[in-house]
Structure 1
Amino acid sequence: MIQTFTTHDGLNLAYDITGSGVPILCLAGLTRNMDDFDPVIAAFANQAQIIRIDSRGRGASDYDLNPQNYTIPIEAHDALALLDHLGLERAAILGTSRGGLIAMVIAATAKDRLLGVLLNDIGPEIDHKGMSTIMTYLGRPCAYVSYDDAAQKLPIALSGSFKNVTEKQWQDYARRLWHESTTGMELRYDPKLREAIEAQGATGETPDLWPLFDALTDLPLAALRGENSDILCEKCWQKMQNLRPDMIAREVKDRGHVPFLDEPESIDAIALFIAALPRP
């Protein structure tokens, strides 16, 4: 059941808790929401307490009147505020894309709150090609008119990175991304996220994120990479494994950015990750 808590600046953020066991906080990508983690609940609710949150401006959470508050540090603060609200001293994080960046920021600033981190198709280097792709649709109206239309056309639009995807998987993908209404498909996030990303990239500077990855030292660590990812490049992926030879690393066949988390490789990595976590 969806519940809410209030942030330090008065926004109501939606969250959900399913299952029992070691707590795993699921943080979604830039434009995504808690529904991305439905496969995790289906496979692991009997092994872990799956905590999902819609970051500010996404899903069922309030939109921020100031889009410049859509930043990774503020969203990291919100994630920790949820743990405080739930009375949890520590939790593991499963972070997809931006959610993984948030996890690394928490590791650098509040490592004592973490049991471990699983990064889903993200690392300390972000491929510019992938960011260029994201900017082609970020904050723009949906190109499809219905879920059925999306399920028919997405296999063509994403054929370069996603293969062997069933029609049901495409339907699920569309329902997680958009809301079908009488006037067409609506975004499930604040379109002003585009303003925030454009402002943050206006300096042209690319921060060095490797110190954030280094902050994960001594924490159980797992990572997934879509075989055809245009965000997590092969060179970065290999460097991550070289720096953390103990990292549970799985490359997901026939997937781009990001794996759906229902693939055999994803399920295997998540299972090993849960087994490696200390119990709080």
Structure 2
Amino acid sequence: MENTMAINYVSSDGLNLYAREYTSNKTANNPNKKVLLCIPGLTRNSLDYQSFSEPFRDEYRVIAVDLRGRGNSEYDSNKVNYQPVIYARDIVELIDHLNLSDVTLVGTSLGGIVSILVSNIIPDLIESIVLNDVGPEINPVGLERIRNYVGKSTIVDSWEEAVRQNKLINELELPDLSEQEWLTFTRGLYRVSTNGKIELAYDPEISESIKVKDENTPLIHLWPQFDVINDKPILVIRGEFSDILDVECVERMKSVNAQLTYCEITNRGHAPLLNEPQCVTALQSFFSSHQKINAIKSAN
């Protein structure tokens, strides 16, 4: 049986927000454990981190959020609020609500962008960062691909149909999933509606944040914010054929942050699921290494 604990809180603008903590017998009653705070991608939610949590929940508090407009979090009537600065504010408020410190942010895609912003707002509370297939700038090719599907999938009658719909969008990015893995992945993206139909578990209006506003201005340009956190341990994970995170961007990130660790996941596009053996090994090594560094600093 999956061990989870619901976390409910209210944002400063009155929205009911949700996160789930993946627990174990070792961490369920130990609020002093270090925290892995997981922020999903644009269309995903806290269920995206279920398998990720398994190797880590004995040692860490693994908390995964539903950004506003996703999963069990309330939809925002003001679609302009579906943007990274507001999401970052929500995460800061969750950290304050739970009185967290020594936080490692684990951000996939949009979640990585939010992680950079959060680390700028409360740097003293953020110990390290994992950026899953995202950096301070986004390849416009991948962004256009995402624009073409967000909020456009239809409601279906069965999980089989939902899996087929999901494959049309993601099969090239995740080419080697088994049928059971596809079903698990799909059940994290979709839900059963009140009329028994299967629908995506997000507000279609979240696409507002990725609409073209100015052809000559990049949607994301976070190099100044990335430079601010150049003293933090950062692990960058990239899918081998990602169309969101360019290798050139990764090289520039390395030049900015001497502590940056990089892992490229074979046979993956955007974005790795973080349960791949390569990912798990890289994550375990990263968490272990920066914990040792921090222990040495504390001893001195």
TM-score scaled by length of structure 1: 0.91
The whole-number CA distance in structure 2 between the counterparts of 1:33 and 1:16 is 10
- Tell me the residue number matched to 1:117: 129
Distance 1:267 1:7 in 2: 33
Q: Is 1:4 paired with 2:5?
A: no
Matched, 1:132 2:136: no
8 Å CA contact retained: 2:22, 2:57: yes
* Partners of 1:229 and 1:257 within 8 A in 2: yes
What is the aligned partner in structure 2 of residue 146 from structure 1?
A: 158
CA 144–225 in structure 1, closer or farther in 2 if over 3 Å, else same = farther
8 Å CA contact 1:248–1:272 kept in 2: the answer is no
CA distance in 1, matches of 2:207, 2:163: 25
Aligned-pair CA distance for 1:89: 3.5
> In the alignment, is residue 37 of structure 1 matched against residue 41 of structure 2?
no
**Partner residue of 2:21?**
17
2: CA distance, partners of 1:258 / 1:109: 26
Q: Any idea what the Cα deviations from partners look like across 1:198-250, whole Å, max 9, x if unmatched?
A: 2xx31332253212221221111111101111111122123223433432211
Bigger RCO (CA 8 Å, 6+ sep): 1
Output the CA distance in 1 between the equivalents of 2:171 and 2:20.
33
1:186 matches 2:190: no
| Matches of 1:29 and 1:121, distance apart in 2 | 10
CA distance 1:254–1:155, shift in 2 (3 Å):
farther
CA RMSD of the aligned region, Å?
2.1
Match of 2:214 in 1: 203
1:225-264 maps to which residues of 2 (within 5 A)?
A: 225-264=238-277
Amino-acid identity (%): 33
Where does structure 2 lack aligned partners over 5 or more consecutive residues?
28-32
| Aligned AA (2:54) | A
1:130-174 Cα offsets, whole Å, 9 max, x none, are 111111111113376532234456556544332221111111111
Number of residue pairs matched by the alignment: 278
Task: State which drifts further: 104-113 or 7-16.
Answer: 104-113
With normalisation by structure 2, the TM-score equals: 0.85
Task: Provide closer, same or farther for how the CA distance between residues 140 and 217 of structure 1 changes in structure 2, counting only shifts above 3 A.
Answer: same
For residue 226 of structure 2, what is the aligned residue in structure 1? 213
Closer, same or farther: CA 92–30 of 1 in aligned 2, 3 Å: same
Aligned counterpart, 1:94: 106
* Cα distance between partner residues in 2 of 1:88 and 1:210: 27
Please, which runs of 5 or more residues in structure 1 have no aligned partner?
none
